Structure 1
Amino acid sequence: MNRDLYKPLTPKPDATGYLLKMIPQFIEELILKYGEDIEFRIADIGAGTGTLAIRIVDEAIKRGISSCIVYAVEPEEKDVEVGINICKQNGCYYESTKSLGVAFKQEPYTETGVAELRNECAIIWFY
């Protein structure tokens, strides 16, 4: 396994804005490939406070996808806490009774953690 894949990248100043613009295209490609009636599971590695994860859930709702869970993986506890609060305030925090939402996971970027997510998710590498 190539260890370089698991190292956080240094984003350009406009990287988040660019990635936010690409989310509709990403969701469209998932719909074309898998259809709308499946359970989407996506991992946002290096999520920070979850800005991109929240936008993915918003776009899924706009597109009529009924099941989309985005795992926002971030090693920094303070970022996870802020992200959870933001998601709870806007109603997109994932709970077991919901089929749409953002589920935060606080864990370091390790091969083991990423491998577990790879078994469950279509992974997006957002750094």
Structure 2
Amino acid sequence: MVKKLIKINPPEHTKVTALTTKARRQLPFRMLLEVQLDRHFSFKQLKTQDSRQFDLFLNKTIGRGLTITETETLFLRTTGPHGAKHVEQHNSVMQDVIHFSNGTRDFRIHGYYNYLGYFVLVRIDPHHQYKF
């Protein structure tokens, strides 16, 4: 039997509609694996160079202690046929999925913010193949 480390009672509706500007400036960018990754865009699919690109993103964001605002300013992708966001269902809740790059042309990660302000990773797209 596994013991829970912390007890968190999520609100009934766990979609974060908007982190406040103040929270975005103060909260560190943090990443969480809360849902199963898309099977075509998971760790299993990564080659050595792809893993390095993911590690580079982690070093540039979490490794440097960037806030959510700083991370979004530097790495949030805002272009695409549907703009920066795409609505998808995860854990029976519709979420605004966004995507980040690590500063290179191809590499992307996709996810959404949960109610605690964590970026929930849903897919790793090392060659920018996923189309919204």
- TM-score if structure 2 supplies the norm length? 0.27
Structure with larger Rg = 2
What's the TM-score, normalizing by structure 1?
0.27
Task: Report which of the two has the higher share of helix.
Answer: 1
